[in-house]
Amino acid sequence: MTEIKYEIIEQIAILSKTTKGQKEFNLISWNGRSPKYDIRDWAPNREKMGKGITLNEEEIGKLKEALEKL
């Protein structure tokens, strides 16, 4: 299996914390590509990551608009 490389460009927010880690909202570059917005669970010290969702600029803008309607 190919190793996944990532660089957290900016930690935007910690959305929740549990004994197993925390859910974070970050700007991440995956495998050297342009950074994207990312929401996922991380184990302490980021030794493991859970499944998450990655959004580009357009998608994050639409999400922001939808959340403002709540």
Q: Nearest to residue 26, comparing CAs of 44, 6, 3? A: 6
- For residue 3, the model assigns a pLDDT of 86
Query: Residue 55: which domain range?
Result: 6-68
Q: What is the CATH number of the domain that holds 27?
A: 2.30.31.70
Tell whether 46 is covered by a domain. Answer: yes
Q: How many domains does the chain have?
A: 1
Instruction: Quickly tell me which residue has 């050297």 as its tokens.
Output: 32
Tell whether 41 is covered by a domain. Answer: yes
Average pLDDT estimate for 17-26: 95
In this predicted structure, the answer to whether residue 7 has a pLDDT above a threshold of 90 is yes
Tell whether 1 is covered by a domain. Answer: no
Residue 39: pLDDT band (50, 70, 90) is very high
What's the whole-model pTM score? Answer: 0.89
Strand partners for 19: none
- For residue 30, the model assigns a pLDDT of 97
pLDDT digits (tens, 9 = 90+) for 49-70: 999 999 999 999 999 999 999 9
